[in-house]
Chain A
Amino acid sequence: MLSILLAFMGLVNLLLLVTLGKQWNSLGKLGRITLAGVVFVFMPSAWGLAVVVDGINSMKQVEFCDSCHVMGSYAHSLKVDDQESLPAIHFQNNWVSQKTGCYDCHTEYSMFGGVKAKMNGLKHVWVNFVTGPPEKIELYSPYANRDCLKCHGPSKKFQLGEDHEDDMADILSGELSCLECHDTGHVLEK
Chain B
Amino acid sequence: MFKDMPPIMKKASYALLIGILMLGLSLFVSGPIPYILTMSIGGAGLGLALLLYLIVFFREMKN
Question: How far apart are the CA atoms of A24 and B8 in the complex, in Å?
Answer: 13
**Segment touching B, from A15-23, A109-117, A154-162, A171-179:** A15-23
Q: Binary interface profile of B, 23-44, with partner A (CB < 8 Å = 1, else 0)?
A: 1101110111101100100110
* Known interface pairs A21-B13, A55-B35; A40-B50 also in contact (CB < 8 Å): yes
Contact of B4 among A3, A7, A25, A40 (CB under 8 A): A25
B42 to chain A, nearest CB (A): 8
Contact of B31 among A18, A41, A47, A67 (CB under 8 A): A67
- Are the C-beta atoms of A40 and B32 separated by less than 8 Å? no
Question: How far apart are the CA atoms of A25 and B6 in the complex, in Å?
Answer: 10
Q: Which residues of A contact B4 (CB under 8 A)?
A: 21-22, 24-25
Question: How far apart are the CA atoms of A21 and B1 in the complex, in Å?
Answer: 6
- Are the C-beta atoms of A36 and B20 separated by less than 8 Å? no
Contact of A29 among B12, B43, B60 (CB under 8 A): B60
Contact of A64 among B30, B56, B57 (CB under 8 A): B30
- Are the C-beta atoms of A51 and B26 separated by less than 8 Å? yes
Q: Who on chain A is nearest to B30 by CB?
A: A67
- Are the C-beta atoms of B5 and A21 separated by less than 8 Å? yes
Residues on A lying within 8 angstroms of B by beta carbon are: 3, 6-7, 10-11, 13-14, 17-18, 20-22, 24-25, 29, 33, 36-37, 39-41, 44-45, 47-48, 51-52, 54-55, 59, 63-64, 67-68, 121, 124-125, 128-129
Known: A17-B17, A37-B57. 7 other contacts (CB 8 A): A18-B1, A24-B5, A24-B9, A40-B50, A44-B50, A51-B24, A55-B26
